[in-house]
Amino acid sequence: MKYIDEFRDRDLCLRLIKKMESILGDSEVTIMEVCGTHTMIIFRSGIRSLLPKSIRLLSGPGCPVCVTPAAYLDQAIALSEIEDVIIATFGDMMRVPGSGSSLETQRAAGKKIAVVYSPLDDLNIARNNPDKKVVFLAVGFETTSPSVAVTAIEAKKMGISNLYLLSAHKRIPPALRLLAEDRDLNVDGFILPGHVSTIIGVNPYLFLAEGYGIPSVICGFEPLDILQGICMILYQRKEKRAAVEVQYKRAVKNDGNPGAMALLNKVFIETDSEWRGLGAIANSGYAMGEEYKELDAREVFSLKERPSVENEGCICGEILKGRKVPNQCPHFGENCTPYSPLGPCMVSSEGTCAAYYKYA
């Protein structure tokens, strides 16, 4: 634990906060963390309460479950109604509400829904159920997409013909461009996601500095990582420059992980994608490429896109855009809790509402 403990050193944390006060002077800044894990660490560590009052932290759309639109859940629920279909999914998707139901409700009603811990688990489910069609709900950012690509490649190699993917994979950089262009947010700096960056590297973010003049730092996931990242953003602002810097140097390389990116590009193609709260964003998703079309659940089951219907009064979309915070929702902590959620931001372990409920 010594290696981890060094990144949680109380005295070093307090010294960094003191340093922030000297850098800031009289200026005020708004910084957005674009990662649900960062959001949880910030709350769990009490970072918000320690920062100078002139630093405003916003939580962005960094929770893949949260940004998956209700229409996708509706497609998954419709598939679960088909007699010979088994839905395979990560556990944090089970309680996310669609337009009218959830996967948890469907399973309670007797539908065949399996919770998996790795996309590769789907290979065994498909082999053990040759008379069923297994549909994996492929949800996640660039961090998890390569493992889904490996699953697709292995399914073809093994001759498994009853496994399909319903892709809702998202790409972070196009969403960041949308946020950078949002004049209402007026973000002064971005804390960029460390684990996504281990895959895609630094270059995909350069437009933030070069096109929008927004200082950005790729951060790790310990309190000192985040505090050092904030200091790096403040130094950029003080020096009147904008760059994409890497605080998380022990894990992130400039070119990311070329092997993982090669797997992604072999199986998937970039496509327009719908984000809850943010709407349709060009080239912000991954769809099955031509070589793997036979694994595409949308093609195989002729799924039609339908508009999402959100729960009335849920402001999850506004929270994902950074325009509102959870305690501005009239349902927060009352009608909407982790035990009876109205929206995905309260369901996911990386959701902003869940973080506020648990720690704030």
Taking only the tens place, the pLDDT of each residue in 86-97 is 999 999 999 988
> Judging by beta carbons within 10 Å of its beta carbon (0-12, 13-18, 19+), is residue 119 exposed, middle or buried?
buried
The tokens 């690509």 sit on which residue?
149
Torsion from C-alpha of 350, 141, 288, 148, nearest 10 degrees: -80
Is the confidence at residue 248, as pLDDT, over 70?
Answer: yes
The pLDDT value recorded for residue 3 is 57
pLDDT band at residue 356 using 50, 70 and 90 as cut-offs: very high
Please give the pLDDT value at position 307.
Answer: 73
Q: Which residues contact 136 (CB under 8 A, 6 or more apart)?
A: 88, 89, 116, 119, 122, 148, 151, 163, 164, 165, 166
Mean pLDDT, to the nearest integer, of 275-289? 95
Note the pLDDT tens digit of each residue in 194-243: 999 999 999 999 999 999 999 999 999 999 999 999 999 999 999 999 99
Closest Cα partner for 274 from 71, 137, 90?
A: 71
pLDDT of 51 over the 90 cut: yes
- Distance, in Å, from the CA atom of 19 to the CA atom of 193, rounded to the nearest integer, reads 23
**Rounded to whole angstroms, how far apart are CA atoms 72 and 169?**
11
Q: Which three-class secondary structure state does DSSP give residue 224?
A: helix
pTM, entire model: 0.93
CA gap 157, 154 in Å, rounded: 5
Confidence band for 19, pLDDT divided at 50, 70 and 90: very high
Per-residue pLDDT of 258-272, as tens digits, reads: 999 999 999 999 999
User: 306 or 239: whose pLDDT is higher?
Assistant: 239
Fold of 2-7+26-36+46-57+172-246: Rossmann fold (3.40.50)
Mean residue pLDDT of the chain comes to 93
* Percentage of the chain lying above the pLDDT 90 cut: 84
Domain 66-171+256-300 grouped into CATH 3.40.50.11740 = yes
Confidence of residue 26 (pLDDT cuts 50, 70, 90): confident
Label residue 2 by pLDDT band (50, 70, 90).
low
Q: Tell me which long-range contacts 298-302 makes (C-beta under 8 A, separation of at least 24).
A: 298/75, 298/166, 300/133, 300/164, 301/79, 301/82, 301/135, 301/164
CA distance 326 to 335: 13
Q: pLDDT at position 1, please?
A: 47
Residue 57: exposure state from Cβ atoms within 10 A (0-12, 13-18, ≥19): buried
Range of weakest confidence among 94-108, 129-143, 162-176: 94-108
pLDDT at 151 over 90: yes
Question: Residue 210 — left, alpha, or beta (φ > 0 → left; ψ -120 to 50 → alpha)?
Answer: alpha
Sequence spans of domains, the chain: 2-7+26-36+46-57+172-246, 66-171+256-300
| Mean pLDDT value of segment 339-357 | 91
